[in-house]
Amino acid sequence: MNRILVIGGGAAGMMAAGQAAAHGAEVVLLEKMPRPGKKIAISGKGRCNLSNSADLPEFINHFGRNGRFLRQAFQDFFNKDLIRFFQEQGLELITERGGRIFPAQGRAPDVVKTLRQWLEGLSVSLRPDSPVERLLLQDGKITGALCNGNPVYGKAVILATGGASYPATGSSGDGYRLAESIGHSIVPIRPGLVPVITQGNLAARLSGLHLRNVGVRLTISDPAGGKKKQKKQKKLSAFGELQFMKYGLSGPVILTLSNEIVDGLRADKQVHLVLDLKPALDDQKLDARLQRDFLQRHKEPMQSVLRGLMPEKLVRVCLDETGLAPDRLAGEIRAEERKRLRFWLKNIPLTITGYRGFKEAIITCGGVSLKEVDPRTMGSKCCPGLYLAGELLDLQADTGGYNLQAAFSTGWLAGRSAAEYCNKGLVNR
């Protein structure tokens, strides 16, 4: 019997199922939800950022220290291969700003539909509403899974259940329990690419405000008053869009930094952000801009003049924070007051006190330890016949299509490797 069971119908699972079937295996795809691809259908704000046009070294770098694990999977199936795959299935893709790759029509459900049709053409047996309770073993080898109280047998099993983010889509962390039950170690999971919670009421006062082209400086440091003589600091910076929420901050630039923020907070570090509203101007150029505006509009009140520098919703906060009266005429502003305004525009401080949960996280950080998975095959080192792919693994990148490409690539490799194992009796290549 060369039947392969794929557990999980997300990006990694569907790609793995199709690849295994294309290589001659009988494939059964077990999906706990009524239909597969639910998380894909809502990804990228409903547009589905499938991948990125970055070259291999840059792509791997976005995954940090664990990125090198993906080298084999990316060499076998990478962004150009993914584009070709979808084009061959009749789905055109486009590349947008930042190298982000989307369906040309901007509809994430089109991606799910394309994958479903591909699987149907390969005679993959899809079984929805089929949650897996446990994996079945015999003599240390995988033999199938217990599903809805009944055994489903297979010579190989591909575990692609996703992480724990957006649990309403079916990614509720089941895979970690299943992997751990047969001997795998789980690196502690935590929300990734997630909004953060800030101290004070500044964010609440600006709730709903969306800013573009903002500079963000992040500092993660040991707590004050600790026993260490020399305090360690980690400094990062980013540039892009952010949004103020009632509880704190969200938006692309914040999500990009959030993995570092979460890890810092979990390590009991102090985490501080500084926002630069005018990152394109240094202090000298910004001061010249302020002097010019105040001179040209010297008879206008500050609340009016500042609207030329920032959104109206930010003006009141700026005046309060800098101690300037709204009706004060621009021509009356002294040099020291202008300096105070200039400093605030480039140094708005915020202390990060927490982060939102898995329901709002785009990805899951942590997962099955990469030390226990063969990067050449995605095969388990703990259990012959078991393969793992996608977000279940301890792999995470920032935004831009990197995580979804990793899911497709690891799924592709797991599906092919599992088929080879079934056809030739090989555990590893």
What's the rounded Cα separation, in Å, for the pair 23 and 397? 30
Does the structure show a pLDDT above 90 at 2?
no
Question: What pLDDT, in 10s, does the model give residues 229-250?
Answer: 556 899 999 999 999 999 999 9
Q: Give me the mean pLDDT over the 172-179 stretch.
A: 94
What's the rounded Cα separation, in Å, for the pair 208 and 377? 46
How distant, in Å, are the alpha carbons of 24, 187, 241, 270 from that of 209?
A: 54, 36, 11, 26
- What 334-342 contacts at long range (C-beta under 8 Å, 24+ apart), as own/partner pairs, is 338/287, 338/290, 338/291, 338/294, 339/287, 341/290, 342/283, 342/286, 342/287, 342/290
Does the structure show a pLDDT above 70 at 425?
no
pLDDT at 428: 40
pLDDT at 230: 59
DSSP state of 216: E
Classify 301 as helix, strand or coil. strand
Q: How is domain 290-346 classified at the CATH fold level?
A: Helicase, Ruva Protein; domain 3 (1.10.8)
Does the structure show a pLDDT above 50 at 429?
no
The total of other beta-carbon atoms located within 10 Å of residue 265's CB is 19
**% the chain with pLDDT above 90:** 92
Domain boundaries in the chain?
3-190+361-424, 196-279+348-355, 290-346
Q: How confident is the model at residue 424 (pLDDT cuts 50, 70, 90)?
A: confident
CB 379 within 8 A of CB 387: yes
pLDDT at 175: 96
Q: How confident is the model at residue 426 (pLDDT cuts 50, 70, 90)?
A: very low
CB 175 within 8 A of CB 7: yes
Question: What pLDDT, in 10s, does the model give residues 338-375?
Answer: 999 999 999 999 999 999 999 999 999 999 999 999 99
DSSP state of 89: T
Residues 6 or more apart whose CB falls under 8 angstroms from that of 185 comprise 368, 369, 371, 372
pLDDT at 225: 62
pLDDT at 61: 96
Q: How confident is the model at residue 101 (pLDDT cuts 50, 70, 90)?
A: very high
Q: Which residue, among 356, 410, 378, 405, has the nearest Cα to 165 in the 3D structure?
A: 356
304: exposed, middle or buried (C-beta count within 10 Å: 0-12, 13-18, 19+)?
A: middle
Q: How confident is the model at residue 169 (pLDDT cuts 50, 70, 90)?
A: confident
Does the structure show a pLDDT above 60 at 427?
no
Q: Give me the mean pLDDT over the 306-320 stretch.
A: 95
Give the residues across from 271 on adjacent strands.
220, 352
Q: How confident is the model at residue 226 (pLDDT cuts 50, 70, 90)?
A: low
Please report how many Cα atoms fall inside a 13 Å half-sphere around the Cα of residue 79, on the Cβ side. Answer: 23
CB 214 within 8 A of CB 241: yes
Give the residues across from 216 on adjacent strands.
238, 275
The amino acid at residue 300 is E
Q: How confident is the model at residue 142 (pLDDT cuts 50, 70, 90)?
A: very high
Q: Which residue, among 49, 74, 44, has the nearest Cα to 60 in the 3D structure?
A: 74
* Architecture of the CATH domain 3-190+361-424: 3-Layer(bba) Sandwich (3.50)
Q: Give me the mean pLDDT over the 21-40 stretch.
A: 96
The amino acid at residue 28 is V
Q: Give me the mean pLDDT over the 47-53 stretch.
A: 97
- What 92-100 contacts at long range (C-beta under 8 Å, 24+ apart), as own/partner pairs, is 93/50, 95/53, 98/52, 98/400, 99/52, 99/53, 99/54, 99/400, 99/401, 100/49, 100/52, 100/400, 100/401
Considering only residues 75 and 428, tell me which one the structure prediction assigns the higher pLDDT: 75
Q: Give me the mean pLDDT over the 289-295 stretch.
A: 96
pLDDT at 136: 97
